[in-house]
Amino acid sequence: MPERPDYPSLIAGHTVVLDRINSGESGLPILHHLLRLAQRALGAAGTSFAEYGPHRGRIIAATGAAEWSVGRPVDLDEPATARLLTGPRTVEFPVTALAAGPADQIAGRGLHRMLIARAEIGGVLIGSLHAYYPDPDRSAGPDHHTLIAYLASCIANMYGDQTGLPVHGDGPVVAALADGLAIVDDESCVRLWNPAAERLTGSTAQDRLHRPIPFPVPPPGQVVDHQQPDGRWLRITSGELPGFAASRVVTFRDITDQHHRDHDVDLFIAVTSHELRTPVTVIKGYAETLSDHWESLTDRDRREAARVLGQRATELARLVDRLLSAANDSGPAAGTPSAPFDLVEALRATVENLPAGLRQRLTVELPDDLPKAVGDRASLITVLTELATNADKYSPSGSPIEVTAIADERSVALRISDRGIGVRPEHVERAFDRFWQGESGDQRRYPGAGLGLYLVRQIVERQHGWVSLRPRDGGGTVAEVRLPRS
């Protein structure tokens, strides 16, 4: 760890960040740039940022020697993390202070010391910025603590702008950190307009005072949902103001994420109905053909009908399994003890059971000396099938889908790479949300119920691994599953 931060690098890099923001960039691309800036200025071997949801966090961006950690869950009850959440704004500790699993994963990459800063806005925790160092004994100086706290504040302010962040569907909704509050008279003219109201509506108190409130106000004790011109949804309530018969208190909050989730569920029901109807219709049609025209059909026709019936029944069974797993929030690996298994052998066996059309697109390059992985071998069928099917759906017909595997000192990784439409940075995490799809309504070009990647993450994380997506250089997507190494 250098004695002092590289301030010239900080100033130059921060200028570039501001230029990129002013040119319209936002979200994960800017976050990645800030992490690279933090790595250089702090003299770290790598950096990462964990975004926190209601129950746990997840690494959503990383650089340098920490790039492998993208997608890794972060336990908020882990002692070192708990210190950060309840203590000073920055903390520093050896990696060995972490729980055994994360400590082994990080130390296995030659990283032995961490400097972490809390990112918060309005007193609400957003996430944490991590810097990693190889030297286990050299401590950071006061300037390092000050600088990482400053950069964490910069990231928190990005969340305050609500531009491309949060990444997680269940992440912090900064617009609802505090409800908007207004007091209106009997003609619905504004008498008070708090800072949260300014943030939620984009209308300042100076612009709004003594003018009509810019949305409908429900009768006292009732609730109304209202869509603003910018597309966001507000949930508005009102009540009598004690002691002022002619005035009312109006509170409102941003429910855009909730509204989108409700819409996604409606879309899921509609899409699932369609997905179920297609194989059922085909099965019914072929069954009736065999029943009504058996004698007039040739042996070849009967065999083809039987083949299609079997294929469609398999599709139907797979879809039903996915629906049931998603409905009870459990994957095929639930309750199954982990054990060492040969990942290469399991992958090759799984590939042989994939549909012929998909199997023909796969290019499988697996090392013979790959260490054993620890997990549930049987669930690998679901993981590989879902990832390969996803790659098949979003890439041009006939383009190769590559299946590879690698290992390092702590984990074994499976990668599925395609040359398809790619994944947008702001979608690399949302893609794992249940029912979520990149397109909606009449714009949807790709079938599906929005369950495949959700189930993959559930299965993999139950085996103490993690899964991530990232854009592929030159176009396409890389899906990576990491499992503990035996």
Q: What tens digit of pLDDT does each residue of 249-264 get?
A: 888 888 887 776 666 5
Three-state DSSP class for residue 417: strand
Confidence of residue 243 (pLDDT cuts 50, 70, 90): low
Amino acid sitting at position 456: V
Give the pairing of strands 233-241 and 180-184: unpaired
- The C-alpha atoms of residue 73 and residue 302 are separated, in whole angstroms, by 51
Confidence of residue 435 (pLDDT cuts 50, 70, 90): low
Confidence of residue 481 (pLDDT cuts 50, 70, 90): very high
| 352/314: higher pLDDT | 352
Least confidently predicted of 128-142, 293-307, 385-399, 422-436: 422-436
Confidence of residue 163 (pLDDT cuts 50, 70, 90): low
Among the residues of 328-424, which ranges form H helices? 343-352, 356-361, 380-393
Q: At what angle do helices 299-327 and 452-462 cross, to 10 degrees?
A: 60
CB-based contact 420:477 (threshold 8 Å): yes
State mean pLDDT over 398-416. 93
CB-based contact 55:131 (threshold 8 Å): no
Retrieve residue 59's tokens.
């690494």
Give the pairing of strands 401-407 and 362-365: parallel
Phi, psi of 338 (to 5 degrees): -80, 150
- The C-alpha atoms of residue 38 and residue 146 are separated, in whole angstroms, by 12
- The C-alpha atoms of residue 360 and residue 371 are separated, in whole angstroms, by 27
**Which residue in 245, 210, 216, 242 sits closest to 228, CA to CA?**
216
- Give 339's strand partners: 375
- The C-alpha atoms of residue 81 and residue 48 are separated, in whole angstroms, by 14
Retrieve residue 326's tokens.
């998603």
Look up residue 242 and give its DSSP letter: T
Mean pLDDT comparison of 84-88, 150-154, 287-291, 308-312, highest-scoring range: 150-154
Amino acid sitting at position 434: R
User: What's the number of CA atoms in the CB half-sphere (13 Å) around residue 376?
Assistant: 20
Amino acid sitting at position 262: D
- The C-alpha atoms of residue 8 and residue 17 are separated, in whole angstroms, by 14
CB-based contact 424:477 (threshold 8 Å): no
| 260-268: long-range pairs with CB below 8 Å, 24+ | 261/169, 261/435, 263/440, 264/435, 264/436, 264/437, 264/440, 264/450, 265/435, 267/435, 267/437, 267/440, 267/441, 267/450, 268/435, 268/449, 268/450
Retrieve residue 408's tokens.
């390092």
Least confidently predicted of 19-23, 295-299, 345-349, 441-445: 441-445
| 57/270: higher pLDDT | 57
Give the pairing of strands 124-133 and 466-471: unpaired
Retrieve residue 477's tokens.
């997507």
State mean pLDDT over 42-49. 96
CA distances to 96, 312, 340, 381 from 353, rounded to whole Å, are 43, 15, 22, 9
pLDDT at 36: 94
pLDDT at 334: 47
% of residues, the chain, pLDDT over 70: 82
Give the mean pLDDT of the chain: 82
pLDDT at 198: 85
